[in-house]
Structure 1
Amino acid sequence: MTADADGGFDPITLEILWSRLISIADEAAAALLRTAFSTIVRESNDFATVLMDANGDSISENTGGIASFSCILPRTTKHFLQKFPAEAWRPGDCVITNDPWLATGHLPDITAVTPIFHRGRLVGFAGSIAHSPDVGGALWSADCREMFEEGIRIPPVRLLREGVRNEQVMEMFLANVRLPKQVTGDLEAQITANEVCAARVTEFLEDAGLPDLAGLGRALHGRADRAMRQAIAAVPDGTYRATIEADGFDEAVTRIACAVSVRGEEMLIDFDGTSRQIDRGINCVWNYTHAYSVYPVKCALDPFTPRNEGSYRAIQVVAPEGSILNPRFPAPVSARQLTGHLLAGAIYKALEGVLPEKVIAECGGAPTMRALFSGVDRNGDRFSQILFASGGMGAAPHRDGLPTTAFPTNAGAGSIEAFESVAPLIVWKKQLRPDSGGAGRFRGGLGQEAEIEVRSPAPLRLSLLSDRRDHPAQGICGGAPGAPAEIVMSDGTRPHPKSRTMITPGTRLVMRYAGGGGYGPPEERDAAALAADLRDGYVTKAG
């Protein structure tokens, strides 16, 4: 191995080592995926795995993980280190939490962190986050008045101590959930993923001849930091502003004000002027706000350098305390993605005038629209199943928006066959939604229409988490907005878009997902592209 005069690594060696560390995080993700019980993880990709150094700084992330999870996990690990100092960790430990203000912003996500030891020394941490199928309380909903209604909150606690499980913690947790087998299975899968990561890191250090991850971590952080600073330096200095509105809750329309300031190699994203927090579960905690502010910048300015802790050091994010983007405890936060997913659109709108070649239009799938069905099946067993699907992505400067594709999250749709196999639900329709993409030089991505019938023996509970009904995804650089979201029952009634309701067997729920905004003036669209849209049924003559 060759070191330069500054004690770092030569570029080729550094690239090889970094790629191997990413592959370790990917192997941990594969272990989690293959051993998880719930379709939320197995089918819908709602998880992430991260390798961190002994300080809790991320070094590598799995390539297909949820971006906000990967960005937040190091912050949570640093909270763990405050409660459990480095010298208190032992091989075989595992600490967990789902505290929204310490972790990902709502209770369904469970964070698990395992220490990595090499030759008797603590050299790093393996971490994973997964969306649990149940945490008690109101399940996944948007209409609670405070966080205490939303489920059980687990403070940072040792689930494993030197490989021995804390049965009292598990007993308390499982006594508060409806699906203990699935919850246990997913949590065990997270522990397994962490153990795989830890084992591979010790093998890596032996192969590389390194005593720990410290020197390599500094080199990788420095490389990511330099790449981002170089990208920011290419943006003209100045302050760029934008304001967007969302459906909010009932008459309480929410507003996100965004100012992006660039000074040399650094960027400040300031959300001063954003709506105050409300007494419904769409508040977005600071960790989540930070993650979904810096990640869109990474995508736009430096999309090809792998992400780690260094990627975000040049970006500062501030939001007023007590606002919908930095609420005070115990604000309800379960549906925080309905606000957090909008931040990419606000930031890109602010940068529209100065970086039109790097930003995309607003996405119909930002925020995501989710339907959670829970009740009892024909065998008398409890079930809780989420329909993961997405609206259309916003159009880009060089191509049409991707249909039915999520951004900034990358949760997947999963298999309909798997969805139907674990719940008394039938999906009669799941198809592209014509005319839903916003017109433009490049068309917004199409949304979709899904029709689900309830086949349970008794009424079940439906929890809806949606937006874009009154505020569709806007176009950019002259592009038109996409079609709004729409939810309707087979009897013609329209359920509350952010609330819980009971639905009876035989009822069909129709969900029309929003389309993405268009890019550029519609009259500039290529005639051949428009003809292809008509031929393929993406747009109609009537539309």
Structure 2
Amino acid sequence: MTGRSTPDPIGLEVRWDRLAAATDEAATTMLRTAFSTIIRESNDYTVVLMDRRGRTVAESRAGIPAFAALMSSLAELVLRRFPADQWLDGDCVITNDPWIATGHLPDIAMITPVFHRGSLVGFAGTAAHSPDIGGTSTLGATDLLAEGVLIPPLRLFRGGRVEQGVKDLLLANVRLPEEVWGDLEAQAAAHAVCRRRAREFLDDFDETGLEEFAEAVHALADAAMREAIAAVPDGVYRSCLDADGVQGRPTHIECAVEVRGEDITVDYAGSSRQVPFAVNSTLNYTRAYSMYPLKVLLDPATRTNWGSYRAIRVRAPEGTIVNPTFPAPVLARHLTGHLLSCALYQALAPVLPDRVIADSGGAPALRVRFAGQDDDGRPFGLMLFANAGMGASRASDGLSTTAFPTNSGVGGIEALEVSSPLRFVRKELRAGSGGSGRRRGGLGQVIEVHNPTRRPVQMVLLGDREHHPALGLAGGGPGAPARAVLSTGERVSLKSISELAPGASVVISFAGGGGFGDPQEREPELRLADELAGYTIEEDSA
């Protein structure tokens, strides 16, 4: 591209695809070297390559896409603390500050420089969910500092050498130091792949840096998004929704989407004030889970980078559940942030009825953490990432047991059982859970977990959709709500800490997605197919 005023579009695409492949290779490296099942099996991570100013150029196509959407703002803040002229080859900065990184303490973000022929040309970035981050309680905390170790932007490596004091301080404050450090080394291995492939890219195309290429792909992504926005009629489109909230008090989200020409503004004024409970969503997380649903709605085909989001602005009043002030607790921020996709699609349904989907049962996702010791006294921790049903669209039924707007997965049951003493008794589609409609909502699932040990196991549930199920659109019905029931018959709140006694089991029923359209208009052959597959048989309500 050197010396060309207008880049060759085919050559540009070839180069862009090559850098995207580099981030995918780096992601594969992380998956294969990670110690915890959270990364290895559940895909709770992202990998990106950025230009010298920290703006994403290429993003891995697996992992959590909304995380990639906030890596540029993260890098910008890190570069304020560590300016470009202070970086050495082999440096590594980490942080889990929720107001800088991905919104809660368990996610550790990492930034490393890319040097080529002695010059700083860009950065590699990752973020991944750590298996433990300390803290006294995952739900009892009323402020951030009780939720775990807060890491401001710090150098973990300097010139390729471990900053031993930082490592020692971090590992002294977590329960699973071997897994935590193993996952950080897996992130570092992914960065090594990114740096190597970026240098090879520059050598092969005889480039001295990434700036000209970055400007071209940013302009391309920006133009594609602006063209998509311009096709939406100008106006202000509104919606509101309630979540289960905390301690019997629902939380409320107000959403206004303003379309003006090639720009779109999302405003959450009127949403609930922040609460002394972990469901607060920091503004960067709120932005990410507003921008990504709009990206897949308006411009799903163009590969994403920093330019994809330049036309989108997100506002939220300070001190609310979508923009809390420090030190608000934020551990379960996804219980608010994931709901924003529902609010956005409900708002835009009148003008984009052929493109939106009904509410998804996994928006927000239901997470279950098990922790304890096996019969030999060895500690373990296991986070269950499992998926509910997606909402239906005008064109098709919702996908069953499919994550949205996140991209996480439960992974292999065998891997989960190997990493803990727990036994998974069953994992099956939840019949009757999809909302009715001309197009049926996706089915949730039922997972039964048994504790075969002689010791009690702590069980933490972080969920919603217990009292506010996924809503349908255009006359479609709601999906089935979520619930958790012990083998004793006792129902467990989806925001609770309890014990799974020795020999006891818990049955977790994940929510179904909302339906789309009048149920009376569903074609007879589709009704019959649902019945033959067992999808419409109501499950036992116990």
Q: Same fold (TM over 0.5)?
A: yes
Residue 182 (structure 2) aligns with? 185
Residue 373 (structure 2) aligns with? 376
Contact 1:2 1:10 in 2 (8 A): no
* CA offset digits 1:284-325 (Å, max 9, x no partner): 001100000010000111001000000000010000100000
Of residues 210, 215, 226 in structure 2, which corresponds to 1:213?
A: 210
Q: Check if 1:117 corresponds to 2:115.
A: yes
Contact 2:360 2:514 in 1 (8 A): yes
Residue 405 (structure 2) aligns with? 408
SS of residue matched to 1:374: strand
CA apart distance, 1:234: 0.2
* Map 1:355-504 → 2, pairs under 5 A: 355-504=352-501
CA apart distance, 1:328: 0.3
Q: TM-score, normalized by length of structure 2?
A: 0.98
Residue 107 (structure 1) aligns with? 105
* Map 1:125-140 → 2, pairs under 5 A: 125-138=123-136
CA apart distance, 1:78: 1.1
Question: Judging changes above 3 Å, is the alpha-carbon distance between structure 1 residues 529 and 207 closer, same or farther for their aligned structure 2 residues?
Answer: same
Residue 16 (structure 1) aligns with? 14
SS of residue matched to 2:415: helix
Residue 35 (structure 2) aligns with? 37
Residue 27 (structure 1) aligns with? 25
SS of residue matched to 2:259: strand
CA apart distance, 1:538: 0.5
Contact 1:8 1:215 in 2 (8 A): no
Contact 1:274 1:325 in 2 (8 A): yes
Residue 266 (structure 2) aligns with? 269
* CA offset digits 1:73-130 (Å, max 9, x no partner): 1211111101110000000000000111110110000001110001111100001111
Contact 1:376 1:457 in 2 (8 A): no
* CA offset digits 1:223-252 (Å, max 9, x no partner): 000000000000000000000100011122
Residue 67 (structure 1) aligns with? 65
Contact 1:482 1:514 in 2 (8 A): yes
Q: TM-score, normalized by length of structure 1?
A: 0.98
Q: Give me the whole-angstrom Cα distance separating, in 1, the residues matched to 2:308 and 2:82.
A: 27
* Map 1:509-520 → 2, pairs under 5 A: 509-520=506-517
Q: Give me the whole-angstrom Cα distance separating, in 2, the residues matched to 1:541 and 1:23.
A: 45
Q: Give me the whole-angstrom Cα distance separating, in 2, the residues matched to 1:303 and 1:143.
A: 39
Structure 2 counterpart of 1:536, which letter? Answer: A
Structure 2 counterpart of 1:117, which letter? Answer: F
Contact 2:338 2:364 in 1 (8 A): yes
Residue 281 (structure 1) aligns with? 278
* Map 1:307-386 → 2, pairs under 5 A: 307-386=304-383
* CA offset digits 1:398-436 (Å, max 9, x no partner): 111000001000001101111111111111111001110
CA apart distance, 1:3: 6.5
Which aligned runs of 4 or more in structure 1 are off by greater than 6 angstroms?
A: none
Question: Judging changes above 3 Å, is the alpha-carbon distance between structure 1 residues 541 and 243 closer, same or farther for their aligned structure 2 residues?
Answer: closer
Q: Give me the whole-angstrom Cα distance separating, in 1, the residues matched to 2:340 and 2:401.
A: 19
User: Which piece of structure 1 moves more, 237-246 or 378-387?
Assistant: 378-387
SS of residue matched to 1:206: helix
Structure 1 counterpart of 2:349, which letter? Answer: E
CA apart distance, 1:23: 0.4
* CA offset digits 1:384-404 (Å, max 9, x no partner): 001111110000221110000
Q: Give me the whole-angstrom Cα distance separating, in 1, the residues matched to 2:180 and 2:538.
A: 49
Contact 2:454 2:503 in 1 (8 A): no
* Map 1:242-261 → 2, pairs under 5 A: 242-261=239-258
* CA offset digits 1:440-475 (Å, max 9, x no partner): 111000001111111233112111101000000000
CA apart distance, 1:155: 0.7
SS of residue matched to 2:536: coil
* CA offset digits 1:56-85 (Å, max 9, x no partner): 000010001201211111211111101110
Question: Judging changes above 3 Å, is the alpha-carbon distance between structure 1 residues 2 and 217 closer, same or farther for their aligned structure 2 residues?
Answer: closer
Residue 175 (structure 1) aligns with? 172
Q: Give me the whole-angstrom Cα distance separating, in 1, the residues matched to 2:391 and 2:484.
A: 21
User: Which piece of structure 1 moves more, 446-455 or 218-227?
Assistant: 446-455
Q: Give me the whole-angstrom Cα distance separating, in 1, the residues matched to 2:434 and 2:286.
A: 27
Q: Give me the whole-angstrom Cα distance separating, in 1, the residues matched to 2:136 and 2:435.
A: 36
Q: Check if 1:79 corresponds to 2:77.
A: yes
Structure 2 counterpart of 1:461, which letter? Answer: Q
* CA offset digits 1:3-51 (Å, max 9, x no partner): 75xx231111111111011001111101111110001011111111000
Q: Give me the whole-angstrom Cα distance separating, in 1, the residues matched to 2:377 and 2:309.
A: 49
Contact 1:3 1:10 in 2 (8 A): no
Q: Give me the whole-angstrom Cα distance separating, in 1, the residues matched to 2:3 and 2:498.
A: 63
CA apart distance, 1:370: 1.0
SS of residue matched to 2:492: coil
Residue 234 (structure 1) aligns with? 231
SS of residue matched to 2:202: helix
SS of residue matched to 2:201: helix
User: Which piece of structure 1 moves more, 497-506 or 58-67?
Assistant: 497-506
* Map 1:144-155 → 2, pairs under 5 A: 144-155=141-152
Contact 1:534 1:541 in 2 (8 A): no
Structure 1 counterpart of 2:468, which letter? Answer: H
* Map 1:297-316 → 2, pairs under 5 A: 297-316=294-313
Q: Give me the whole-angstrom Cα distance separating, in 2, the residues matched to 1:231 and 1:541.
A: 41
Q: Unpaired segments of 5 or more residues in structure 1?
A: none
CA apart distance, 1:540: 2.5
Contact 1:240 1:261 in 2 (8 A): yes
* Map 1:153-164 → 2, pairs under 5 A: 153-164=150-161
CA apart distance, 1:499: 2.0
Structure 1 counterpart of 2:341, which letter? Answer: A
Q: Give me the whole-angstrom Cα distance separating, in 2, the residues matched to 1:396 and 1:19.
A: 30
Q: Check if 1:200 corresponds to 2:197.
A: yes
Q: Give me the whole-angstrom Cα distance separating, in 2, the residues matched to 1:190 and 1:533.
A: 44
Residue 93 (structure 1) aligns with? 91
Q: Give me the whole-angstrom Cα distance separating, in 2, the residues matched to 1:515 and 1:184.
A: 37
User: Which piece of structure 1 moves more, 142-151 or 524-533?
Assistant: 142-151
Q: Unpaired segments of 5 or more residues in structure 2?
A: none
SS of residue matched to 2:222: helix
User: Which piece of structure 1 moves more, 71-80 or 322-331?
Assistant: 71-80
SS of residue matched to 1:499: strand
Q: Give me the whole-angstrom Cα distance separating, in 2, the residues matched to 1:73 and 1:331.
A: 22
Q: Give me the whole-angstrom Cα distance separating, in 1, the residues matched to 2:525 and 2:492.
A: 41
SS of residue matched to 1:126: strand
